Amino acid sequence: MSVPPGGSTPADVPPPNELPVDVAVWPEHTSATTDDVPVLSRVGHDRGHLDRSLDDPARGRPVRVLVMDERRQVPVREGAAGPELLWDQRPGFPAGGIYLGHADDVAYAALRGERTLSIGGTPVDAWAGLREVGSDLGDRDAGLLAQATGIVEWHERNRFSPYTGAATVVEKAGWTQRDPTTGQEVFPRTDPAVIMLVHDGDRVLLGRQAVWPPGRFSILAGFVEPGESAEAAVAREVAEEVGVEVTDVRYVGSQPWPFPQSLMLGFTARAVSTELHVDHDEIEEARWFTREELRSGAGPAALPPPVSIARHIIDGWLAEGPQA
């Protein structure tokens, strides 16, 4: 498949209330996380940044190509140890491909395409996206799928130059777009967002959005505004959403969240006040839960799935024990 021509879609300008967290799809698999880093932050390959400028970014190596359909789903097969991405083996870099990097002297690329029943003669067991299988993949496949999802989203949402409105030309193996009238380069965009666990020592503050299934709660989140530090965004978002003042804002870790193009910056924060004043334009409900309620299952009907940094932060807080 060739690189698509210029032109935008309705998703080029997302609605202002589009959140950097999953508000629609919650996988049924919601067991606790066990990794030292958030699931989608795992990387098992070299992204090959310098190779992107070459005529052949694969440097003559065979290329494993991941086909991604219009729903951002990819072919998956059931391996001996769990789900695995199903790669199409190519002798060279494909036209219209997006270079993802290399591992073990093999190059990897993403290519937008249509669903098929098999890939390279191997039957496809399922077509699935990052939300559904991300937490069950190995480090290499998880990192490659997160990368592929993010860069394909960028291409789909950004086809016109922000300088002149001209249809852009894709260059550098899919990692830049160029304005043909001015020569200006346009690079992939990432929107920083904060996601924070607010606690008062032995209780955690969780909220829910109206579009979520009943009983599902998560920690709070929001976008960082221009000219604002991440720590300031934590304090502002908590105050706006639930009317709680916080202190002791501490960074936990980060995770790419390419739905469509966010980088989630995880924090914990201690509540100074605990009385809630919920902004129902932001969230439907907010409640305090004790560690024991979350551990025993007496709290929310469901917590975020392990593919999310939200679950990683909650599980880390639960493991710490009471705080003075």
pLDDT, tens digit (0-9, with 9 covering 90-100), for 130-170: 999 998 999 999 999 999 999 999 999 999 999 999 999 99
- For residue 50, what are the contacts with CB-CB under 8 A and spacing of at least 6? none
Max CA pair span of the chain: 62
Which tens digits make up the pLDDT trace of 64-85? 999 999 999 999 999 998 899 9
Is the CB of residue 234 less than 8 Å from the CB of residue 249? yes
Instruction: Look at the domain 20-186 and name its fold.
Output: Nucleoside Triphosphate Pyrophosphohydrolase (3.90.79)
**Residue 15 pLDDT:** 36
DSSP state of 96: T
Is the CB of residue 99 less than 8 Å from the CB of residue 52? yes
Which tens digits make up the pLDDT trace of 256-292? 999 889 999 999 999 999 999 999 988 999 999 999 9
Residue 22 pLDDT more than 50?
A: no
Residue ranges per domain, the chain? 20-186, 191-320
Residue 91 pLDDT more than 60?
A: yes
Residue with tokens 């140890």, as numbered in its chain: 81
Selection from 222, 220, 162, 170 nearest residue 191 by Cα: 222
**Residue 16 pLDDT:** 34
DSSP state of 31: P
Which tens digits make up the pLDDT trace of 101-140? 999 999 999 999 999 999 999 999 999 999 999 989 999 9
What is the average per-residue pLDDT within 211-223? 93
The two domains 20-186 and 191-320 share their CATH topology (first three levels equal): yes
Gap between the Cα atoms of 311 and 229, Å rounded: 24
Task: Answer whether CATH 3.90.25.10 is correct for domain 191-320.
Answer: no
Gap between the Cα atoms of 218 and 197, Å rounded: 9
Which residue did the predictor score with more confidence, 214 or 127? Answer: 127
Which tens digits make up the pLDDT trace of 174-192? 999 999 999 999 999 999 9
